[in-house]
Amino acid sequence: MSRLPGKRLSRRLPAALAGAAAVVALTAGSALFGAGTAAADPEAPAEFTVPIEINVPTDLAALIGQAAAISPEATAALNQLIGTAAADQIASAFDLPDFGVTTPASFMYPAPTVGCGLDGQMATVTLATAQSGPNFPLPPWVEDNQLRFQALPAYIGIPETSELSVAWINTSTFKGGIVPLDESFGDVPLMSTVVDTGDGKVLAAMFGKVDYTDGKSCIVLPTVGSFDA
């Protein structure tokens, strides 16, 4: 019985690539083991024995084999691509927010803050940020077309109540509003909130007051910023 040329070539491939080639052959019905071929050569390497019930998409198996033949870097890039696709499928199946990572963006300047301060001073500043989505699954969770506003007063104390607010307007849709920063952890104000701003450029101003358990009140004068939602 004559040998198929492809078998001699496959035995010279690295073991990992030979295994991938076998999966492609079994699932695609390729020329190596196509219809009409005689019984398998008893001298074929063990790597060619793959359970027929394994169902690997032919195009994906071929892509894996192609990447392995190019370089380890190509294989790493393909693994990352497959992982991203799997994450998107999981998010879609469970109706989860889009996966992503973002970082907070600062308002144009720290907000002047009066009524409290360090070392007996009666003035300080409040930092203000806005974080766009998608930011998931790491907290804080922010979805696409949203902004999470956060105030960070430069005053050491335990906040008791927060009357901070954000006024915003989407310059692409001309929608806007004034919303309180009313998120909390138990009874402790977090001085933050998530706003469904919609897609577009968002102008925002943060202002208000924070009362602390030590009796101090920090009055936060307005600061403004421009953000992409």
pTM above 0.85, yes or no: no
> Of 93, 117, 142, which residue sits at a domain end?
93
The reply to whether 160 and 86 lie within a common domain is: no
Q: Are residues 130 and 211 in the same domain?
A: yes
Q: What is the model's pLDDT at position 60?
A: 59
Residue 206 domain boundaries: 105-228
Residue where a domain terminates, one of 63, 93, 123:
93
Q: What does the pLDDT average to over 22-38?
A: 42
Q: What is the CATH number of the domain that holds 224?
A: 2.60.40
Query: Which of 93, 126, 157 is the endpoint of a domain?
Result: 93
To 5 degrees, how large is the angle CA 224–CA 225–CA 226? 145
Give the pair of three-digit tokens for residue 189: 């104000």
Q: Which whole number is the average pLDDT over 100-116?
A: 92
pLDDT tens for each residue of 41-56:
555 555 555 454 444 4
Residues 34 and 114 in one domain: no
As a whole-number percent, the residues of the chain with pLDDT over 70 amount to: 61
Residue at 22 is within a domain? yes
Q: How confident is the model over 109-132, as pLDDT tens digits?
A: 999 999 998 887 889 999 999 999
Instruction: Report pLDDT for 72.
Output: 76
For residue 206, what are the β-bridge partners?
166, 223
How many CA atoms does the CB half-sphere of 153 hold within 13 Å? 32
Instruction: Mark whether 147 and 72 lie in a shared domain.
Output: no
**Cα distances (Å, whole numbers) of residue 133 to 61, 65, 140, 174, 197:** 34, 36, 10, 20, 11
User: Over 60: is that where the pLDDT of 148 sits?
Assistant: yes
Structure-block tokens of residue 33: 């083991």
Decide if pLDDT at 179 tops 70. Answer: yes
CA proximity to 116, closest of 179, 159, 165 = 159
Q: Residue 112 class from Cβ within 10 Å (0-12 exposed, 13-18 middle, 19+ buried)?
A: middle
Between 28 and 124, residue with greater pLDDT: 124
Cβ proximity of 220 and 113 under 8 Å:
yes
Q: Which residues are 185's β-sheet partners?
A: 188
Residue 25's CB: how many other CB atoms inside 10 A? 20
- The answer to whether 61 and 54 have CB atoms below 8 angstroms apart is no
**Is 153 domain-assigned?**
yes
Listing DSSP states for 195-222 in one string gives: E---SSEEEEEEEEEEEETTS-EEEEEE
Q: Does the residue 14 lie in any domain?
A: yes
Mean pLDDT of the chain: 75
Per-residue pLDDT, averaged over 92-108, amounts to 73
Do residues 54 and 160 share a domain?
A: no
Q: What is the pLDDT of residue 229?
A: 87
Secondary structure class of 50 (helix, strand, coil): coil
Span 182-210, average pLDDT? 94
Whether residues 26 and 116 fall in one domain: no
pLDDT score of 197: 95
Which pLDDT score, from 0 to 100, does residue 133 have? 77
Q: Report the number of distinct structural domains present in the chain.
A: 2
Residue 152 pLDDT class (50, 70, 90 cuts): very high
Question: Is residue 189 assigned to a domain?
Answer: yes
**At 186, is the pLDDT very low, low, confident or very high (cuts 50, 70, 90)?**
confident
